[in-house]
Amino acid sequence: MLPYSPLGIQYLMLETITISTPPLLCRQMFGLTGKASSTEYAKLPLIPPYLHPGYHRYTDGANFASAGAGALVETRQGLVIDLNTQLNYFKHLETLLRQRLGEAEAKTLLSRAVYLFSIGSNDYIVPFTSNSSVLQSYSEEEYVDMVMGNLTTVIKEIYEKGGRKFAFINVAPLGCVPVARASNPGNTGACMEELTSLARLHNKALPYLLQKLASQLKGFRYSNTNFYSFLTERMNDPAKYGFKEGKSGCCGTGPYRGINSCGGKRSVEVYELCENPSEYLFFDSGHPTEKAYQQLAELMWNGDLNVTRPYSIKELLNIGE
């Protein structure tokens, strides 16, 4: 649920593991319905949640995702499965695979997998949507360093378990999504600069971290998709990418339909719904539409270096084949 509800580890064992990727994007990338099911894509099934009763086909994959989770344990603590807990589930599964498949086959499977991360957005959103005083205790740079530190720990532990191929989606321009525009004092429609500033710091730190890991860890390969520029370009020029509206949500209420009332099951029951979601970049107060996710999935799968670098996910899958 990008941009501000990343999930957790999704693990697609055949050739892909994913960390913090929303179900819709995973369907576009791997579960594959409609246009996304073309032969260009990985043709992997949509993997049910790891804790789903009765699912045991872990050689196809496992999904440890938790909507609203962050890299920090404190982010929505008690309401989500944080990234470190998801890692512990993965470690349990890794042990199970070695028992079932044997050391050699499990090692091959783990090294062929792609571990896909989309994490961090909630860590930056929550201080602005709760009574948290964390940003009074830490500078922006210190706070981002904590997020990156937790992410680094998880990456290294997966590497120690045999992971070699990693894919990442950076953080969206969080201060410019409908909920942030609607929350900005004065309802001027301007982006919430304090929030976008954290996103920019995260996106500056991430490629540096990945380059550092690539120099330290033998065989470490990665793909990094620039979700920030992806959304910014479509917000600023929606028509260029086939949208009519780039700033307001299709479903919700209030300015920019940025109040998260879609479906009428929250504290605000009244909501508006557009006639054609495919005309909108955002479906609700913070999540892109299926059409937008389709475009993102295509760029992650086989995008040019302006969006996804140094490898696309398609290229990652083929490394070592």
* DSSP per-residue letters across 135-184: HHHS-HHHHHHHHHHHHHHHHHHHHHTT--EEEEE----GGGSHHHHHHS
Residue 285 lies in a domain: no
pLDDT surpassing 80 at residue 110: yes
Q: Residue 4 has what pLDDT? A: 38
Q: Residue holding tokens 């086989």?
A: 302
* 262 three-class SS: coil
pLDDT of residue 40: 42
Asked, for residue 239, whether it belongs to a domain, the answer is no
Alpha carbon distance 320, 242 (integer Å): 37
How confident is the model at residue 87, as a pLDDT? 92
State the pLDDT confidence band at 55, using cuts at 50, 70 and 90: confident
- The rounded distance, in Å, linking the Cα atoms of 235 and 228 is 11
| CA angle centred on 42, ends 108 and 321, rounded to 5° | 40
Dist. CA 13–CA 65, nearest whole Å: 15
Give the number of other CB atoms < 10 A from CB of residue 160.
10
Question: Would 211 be classed as within a structural domain?
Answer: yes
pLDDT-derived band at 23, boundaries 50, 70, 90:
low
Residue 235 within any structural domain of the chain: no
Q: Cβ atoms within 10 A of the Cβ of 185, count? A: 7
189, amino acid identity: G
- For the residues 13-22, what does the mean pLDDT come to? 44
Among candidate residues 19, 7, 311, the one with its CA nearest the CA of residue 163: 19
Total domains, the chain: 1
pTM given for the model: 0.88
Instruction: Report the distance separating Cα 189 and Cα 182, nearest Å.
Output: 7
Report the range of poorest mean pLDDT among 81-95, 193-207, 228-242: 81-95
Residue 92 within a domain: yes
> Would you call 124 helix, strand, or coil by DSSP?
helix
pLDDT bucket at 22, cuts 50 / 70 / 90: low
Beta carbons of 288 and 265 less than 8 angstroms apart: no
**Cα–Cα–Cα angle for 185, 272, 178, nearest 5°?**
35
DSSP run (H or E) holding 301 = helix 290-302
**Rounded to an integer, what distance in angstroms lies between the CA atom of residue 65 and that of residue 5?**
10
Mean pLDDT value of segment 28-49: 52
Q: Is residue 281 part of a domain?
A: no
On whether the CB atoms of residues 16 and 113 are closer than 8 A, the answer is yes
Q: What angle do CA 239, 244, 247 make, to 5 degrees?
A: 100
Write out the two tokens for 306. 């302006």
Using alpha carbons only, what angle is made at residue 50 by residues 49 and 53, rounded to the nearest 5 degrees?
A: 85
303 falls within a domain:
yes
Q: What angle do CA 87, 112, 63 make, to 5 degrees?
A: 35
**Domain region containing 39:** 16-229+290-318
Asked if the structure places residue 283 within a domain, the reply is: no
The pLDDT of 168-173, averaged and rounded, is: 94
> Which of 17, 15, 43 has its CA nearest to residue 109?
15
